[in-house]
Amino acid sequence: MDTRPFRSVLYIPGAKERALEKATTLAADAIIFDLEDAVAIDEKARARELLAQTLQSHDYGTRAKLVRINALSTEWGASDLDVIADARPEAILLPKVDNAEQIEALARLLDARAETSETRIWAMMESPQGVLNAADIARAPRMAGFIMGTNDLAKDMGCRFRPDRLPLMLSLQMPLIAAKAAGIVIVDGVYNAFRDEAGLRAECQQGRDMGFDGKTLIHPLQLPIANEVFSPTEEEITLARRQIEAFDAATSRGEGVAVVDGSIVENLHIVTAKQILAKAQAFAELTE
C-alpha cells in the first residue's frame, strides 16, 4: 500500500519568489506550484521561468511537487510544459479536465521527452463534464491523482455554498469512487475562508469521513488542521492494534473471526487496521 501522505496540499503562486522560498520550510505534504489561476496574464512567461529555476535549485524535501500548468488549449500551456520539463517535475497538474483524451494528449507530450519519462499526471476535477467522465479520466495514461476544484465546479453547477456541501455531494462522490476504483490519490477542494478554523476543521472532517486523502489549501495557516484531521487518531491507532492482536489470537485457535468491544472483527477489518498503522508510521517519520 502506498502510504505517501497527501493530507495537506498547498497552492503556491508560481510568480511569487518569496512564497516559493518559504514553501521549503512549510509542513505541507505536497505543493501545487500554480502557473494558472494564481498568475496574471502578463506574468505567465516570467512565472514559468522562475518556477523552473526554483525547482532545480531548491530542496523541497519529501514534499510531493505538482506543477499546475495552463490548459494545453490556451496560448500558455505548451510553453509552460516546454520550460517546466527541464526541471523534471514530479507531476503535471492539468486544469479543466473534461475527458480522458486531454490526459492522453498530455501523456503523449511527456512520452516524447526524456526528461519527463517519470513524470505523472494529476487532473483538476472542476467541471460537470469532468465529473461525468471521472472513471475514464482516472484510468488514463500516467494518471496519479485527482484534485477537486470545488469553486469552479460550484460555479458551473450554479449551486449555493453551504456548510454541509449537500448541493455538491454527488459531484464529490463520483470522482471519489472513480479514484478509489483506479487506485489513485484524490484530494478535496479548498476552503476559502482561511482564517475560519472551525469551518475548515468541519470541512476537513467531512472530507476525511468521505474517504478523501487530504485537503487542498490556500494559506499556510490551514496546514496544521489538515494534517491533524487527515492523520489517524490515537483512538484509531489503539483500536487497530487491538483488532490485529485479537484476530491473530482467534486465527491461532482456528477461528475465522474475533470480537473487540462487542463488534465482529473479520479479515477486511484487519486490512483497514494495517493501513491505519502504516499511515500512522509514515506520518510519524515525517516529524522525526
Give the three cell numbers for residue 208. Answer: 476525511
Position 287 confidence tier, pLDDT thresholds 50, 70, 90: low
Q: How confident is the model over 155-179, as a mean pLDDT? A: 97
**What does the pLDDT look like over 63-110, one tens digit per residue?**
999 999 999 999 999 999 999 998 999 999 999 999 999 999 999 999
Mean pLDDT of the chain: 95
128 or 2: which carries more pLDDT confidence? 128
Report whether pLDDT(250) > 60.
yes
Q: How confident is the model over 113-130, as a mean pLDDT? A: 96
Give the three cell numbers for residue 179. Answer: 479514484
Nearest to 275 by CA among 220, 232, 219: 232
CA distance 263 to 195: 40
Domain ranges for the chain, please list them: 8-229, 234-286
CA distance 39 to 102: 22
Residue 86 has a pLDDT of 87
Do residues 10 and 23 touch, judged by C-beta distance below 8 A? Answer: yes
Do residues 68 and 43 touch, judged by C-beta distance below 8 A? Answer: no
Residue 271 has a pLDDT of 93
Give the three cell numbers for residue 42. Answer: 502578463
Report whether pLDDT(3) > 80.
no
**What does the pLDDT look like over 221-238, one tens digit per residue?**
999 999 999 999 999 999
Residue 2 has a pLDDT of 62
Position 285 confidence tier, pLDDT thresholds 50, 70, 90: confident
What pTM value is reported for the model?
A: 0.93
233 or 282: which carries more pLDDT confidence? 233
Residue 229 has a pLDDT of 97
Residues of the chain with pLDDT > 70: what percent?
98
Do residues 123 and 154 touch, judged by C-beta distance below 8 A? Answer: no
Q: Does domain 8-229 have CATH number 3.40.50.300?
A: no
Residue 66 has a pLDDT of 98
Residue 4 has a pLDDT of 85
In sequence order, the β-bridge partners of residue 265 are: 258
Q: What is the DSSP letter of 53?
A: H
Report whether pLDDT(273) > 60.
yes
CA distance 218 to 5: 18
Q: How confident is the model over 127-143, as a mean pLDDT? A: 98
The single residue listed with the C-alpha cell 480522458 is 100
Element (H, E) at 31: strand 30-34
Report whether pLDDT(188) > 90.
yes
Report whether pLDDT(1) > 60.
no
